[in-house]
Structure 1
């Protein structure tokens, strides 16, 4: 599988694992201290070939994703479910621990962000489906993010993520109904 865009990852081990799964070029941020040189590389890559941000499904990975997205508009995003990125030996989380099939799946399901999309999902929908403020809200958000392939978010970020990735109310409700049904089985 060839990837035209340049993939932004956190480190060398991520690059190694991505290259096991697909034919792609990467830019490594070398952790969460994203410097000006890295931002310039990403901007150049975005102008020439496009960029896919593919960071770890944890707080530092989300921080890097946010920094790059703000500095370089128009990047695409690939997300790994946390359970697909956990090392068996020490429980650390990262792209470097993901299987080849999980990496391919994430790269097939990339999202483009939209700053202008008007979502028909409401904050009330999030409450009705128990995604904010409820006892199982975190687990439901994890499952929603996994099924929609948009990554995990906290309650405050969820609406923004759904809007940014242009998830329709119909898609949202279909996935949430499946999640609720699975919980009741």
Structure 2
């Protein structure tokens, strides 16, 4: 059984996500390489950083180190996991996606990840009770609530996953829900 990691693991690309998910059970966030400077990744990661913590796992090359420095500037208490150049190289290509699950687990262990033993607060019944699934206005309500909570818009299933992933408390959720319903 894979270890369930509490922190959100930050990687550069979609192939890195697959490699990490093959190794551990964790939420993995892709910053799209140097595009992290232009997109809204920092805003989205801020919530995860505050509630769950981050582990930065970038490629063992110059670009990866530049991205790591940029992320560490914004998230100084983030944990850092490192894949060696040898472990991350395959056929001349360097990247996290080339590392074995064992090497990824070793890198995360050295970063001192936390195991996630928590139960998910948000479930399908709660989503239905709050009209976030199954009603004509559910999508609009999720959009308003997502904006209020700073987690963005998603379909019902993804919205529920985000609520759990970013460690949003039931109290915080209820306050935001009341606020958007007063509009």
Q: Say whether the fold is shared (TM-score over 0.5).
A: yes
How far residue 33 of structure 1 moved from its aligned partner, in angstroms, is 2.2
Q: How does 1:14-163 map to 2 (within 5 A)?
A: 14-34=16-36, 35-87=38-90, 90-110=91-111
User: Is the Cα contact below 8 Å between 1:39 and 1:72 reproduced in 2?
Assistant: no
Give ranges in structure 2 of 5+ residues lacking alignment.
114-183
* SS of match in other structure, 2:25: coil
* SS of match in other structure, 1:7: strand
TM-score (norm 1): 0.57
**In the comparison of the two structures, how many residue pairs are matched?**
110
Alpha-carbon RMSD across the aligned residues, in angstroms, is 1.4
Based on CA coordinates, which of the two structures has the bigger radius of gyration?
A: 2
Q: Deviations over 1:34-53 (max 9, x none)?
A: 13510111211100100000
Which one of 12, 15, 19 corresponds to residue 13 of structure 1?
Answer: 15
User: Is the Cα contact below 8 Å between 1:85 and 1:93 reproduced in 2?
Assistant: yes
Partner of 2:5: 3
* SS of match in other structure, 2:4: coil
Asked which structure has the greater RCO (Cα within 8 Å, sep 6+), the reply is 2
How far residue 21 of structure 1 moved from its aligned partner, in angstroms, is 0.3
* SS of match in other structure, 2:40: helix
TM-score (norm 2): 0.58
Q: Deviations over 1:83-104 (max 9, x none)?
A: 00001xx311000000010000
